[in-house]
Amino acid sequence: MKQPALRERGPVLASCLITLAFGILCFIRLTIPSAIYFDETYYPAAAVAILNLSHQLNPEHPMVGKELIAAGIALFGNNPFGWRFFPAVFGTLALFAAMRALWFATLSRFATLAGGWLLATGFMLFVQSRIAMLDIFMVSFVMIALWMCAAAMHEAEQARWRLIVAGIALGCAIGAKWNALPIAILPGLAFLIIRIKRSGWKGFFTSRGHPIPGISLAEAALWLGILPLVTYWLTYTPAFLMADNPISPWGFIGAHRHMIDLQENVGKLNHPYRSVWYQWVLNLKPIWYLYRESDGAQRGIFMIGNPFTILLGIPALLWCLWAGLFRENRAAFAVAVFYAASIGLWIIAPKPVQFYYHYLLPSCFLFAALAIALDQMWQAGRRAIPITVLALATVFFAFFYPILSAAPLSGEGAFRFWSWLPSWV
């Protein structure tokens, strides 16, 4: 009786409505600009090469994102709608999956819907859902995997198929961008730690007990360890079949050494938009993806975090870490760990050129942390602050919407209206 009731209480309809509204906004002016802009220079061309099985372009990145852009081109043609269709679809899917993950992590309707609202109005997911780049696919598959893992812990009768989906999604996330690696390791590691903590050495041999009754450590290792690796390997199938310089299925390690060399020797060290992790945290180094006359008007697309919630999320993250350590709030602790893992990669990564859009995945956990912190106030009856935060998040989104969505602007100097800091120019 408890499990059906649990599913029934989940705010599925409200989550769908938020997702639908976000998706509609993503598709408005999706084909503007009508020409390649920013890093679209690389990925649609690489996608066309995949369709032709001719040669591998942009080999420093794995295949999944380029394959999905190729699928859009195959369906709708080599045009802006074809390039951007699946980024918009997967960005919308990422929002829904993030809300479902929050529901199963917190069992709180308010935290779930607040988290979705904050992510939808946080600017970064919206902007990245409207450009043919790879990050949005990585984020979407990560959110799907976390949704499945969180649901498996509450719905043991569905745990096996959910872990299988999670494993495939983790493999696809890594196959979209390697940024997902620190997150991909955590579900299996968490399963191991919880099982051994609860069952001692017997946990290596039993399928009883937490975190998922009926799933042994060996089976968890299969779905959350081996399956992602097999999935990742399979995503390279087009590269195995290329006419020019194909990758050998059995020379995978050597090919990846070459990819790492390419990543570590990226040029343009003086790129004007180059930034580092602490600038992302403080919202100091955003990127103008577009600012020029396009399609009959002056237009801009600004990759920036919501100036209000992206900063408010920092103390919320610290609170989540404290609540996890000293109040045993597992959901709060989990989002703090996921945030630390996803941004920690960029603190230690040898890649010499980094950009603000690398903060997209950490920002998803930051907004989840803010939602969980606001939920504590909501449940305690102090509801004015959460309502005010959500309202102001919406106001900021509406205010910046013209330069998030390539709307027509008043003229060449219009950017000054939104460039509040010298580093935002």
Kindly tell me if the per-residue pLDDT of 1 is higher than 50.
no
* 270 part of a folded domain: yes
Q: Indicate the pLDDT class of residue 259, thresholds 50, 70 and 90.
A: confident
Mean pLDDT confidence for 343-372: 93
* 420 part of a folded domain: yes
Q: To the nearest whole percent, how much of the chain has pLDDT over 70?
A: 96
Looking at residue 308, its pLDDT comes to 98
Kindly tell me if the per-residue pLDDT of 267 is higher than 70.
no
Looking at residue 272, its pLDDT comes to 80
The pair of three-digit structure tokens given for residue 95, joined into one six-digit string: 């929002």
Kindly tell me if the per-residue pLDDT of 7 is higher than 70.
no
Nearest to 105 by CA among 67, 58, 153: 153
Looking at residue 147, its pLDDT comes to 97
Kindly tell me if the per-residue pLDDT of 153 is higher than 80.
yes
Looking at residue 198, its pLDDT comes to 77
Report pLDDT digits (tens) over 90-136.
999 999 999 999 999 999 999 999 999 999 999 999 999 999 999 99
Kindly tell me if the per-residue pLDDT of 12 is higher than 60.
yes
* 222 part of a folded domain: no
Q: How many domains does the chain have?
A: 1
Span of 36-45, 62-71, 134-143, 193-202 with lowest mean pLDDT: 193-202
Looking at residue 266, its pLDDT comes to 61
Query: Cis peptide leading into 249, omega within 30 of 0?
Result: no
Report pLDDT digits (tens) over 173-229.
999 999 999 999 999 999 999 888 877 776 676 777 788 888 999 999 999 999 999
* 158 part of a folded domain: no
Domain span including residue 270: 2-133+235-424
Mean pLDDT confidence for 350-362: 90
Return phi, psi of residue 421, to 5°: -120, 150
Looking at residue 210, its pLDDT comes to 83
Looking at residue 199, its pLDDT comes to 75
Looking at residue 90, its pLDDT comes to 98
Question: What is the chain's mean pLDDT, rounded?
Answer: 93
Looking at residue 38, its pLDDT comes to 95
Classify residue 6 by burial, with Cβ atoms within 10 Å: 0-12, 13-18, 19+: middle
Contacts of 295 (CB under 8 A, 6+ apart): 32, 33, 34
Beta partners for 271? none
Looking at residue 353, its pLDDT comes to 82
178 neighbors 171 (Cβ within 8 angstroms) = no
Report pLDDT digits (tens) over 302-313.
999 999 999 999
Kindly tell me if the per-residue pLDDT of 21 is higher than 50.
yes
* Nearest-angstrom CA–CA distance, 292 and 34: 12
The count of residues in the chain is 425
R_g of the chain computed on alpha carbons: 21
Classify residue 188 by burial, with Cβ atoms within 10 Å: 0-12, 13-18, 19+: buried
* 174 part of a folded domain: no
DSSP state of 178: G
* 194 part of a folded domain: no
The helix, strand and coil proportions of the chain, stated in percent and rounded to the nearest 5, come to 70, 5, 25
Is the C-alpha dihedral spanning 93, 94, 100, 101 positive or negative?
Answer: positive
* 160 part of a folded domain: no
Q: To the nearest whole percent, how much of the chain has pLDDT over 90?
A: 81
DSSP secondary structure string, 301-347? EEE---TTHHHHHHHHHHHHHHHHHHS--HHHHHHHHHHHHHHHHHH
Is the C-alpha dihedral spanning 128, 130, 135, 136 positive or negative?
Answer: positive
Mean pLDDT confidence for 76-94: 98
Kindly tell me if the per-residue pLDDT of 268 is higher than 60.
no
* 355 part of a folded domain: yes
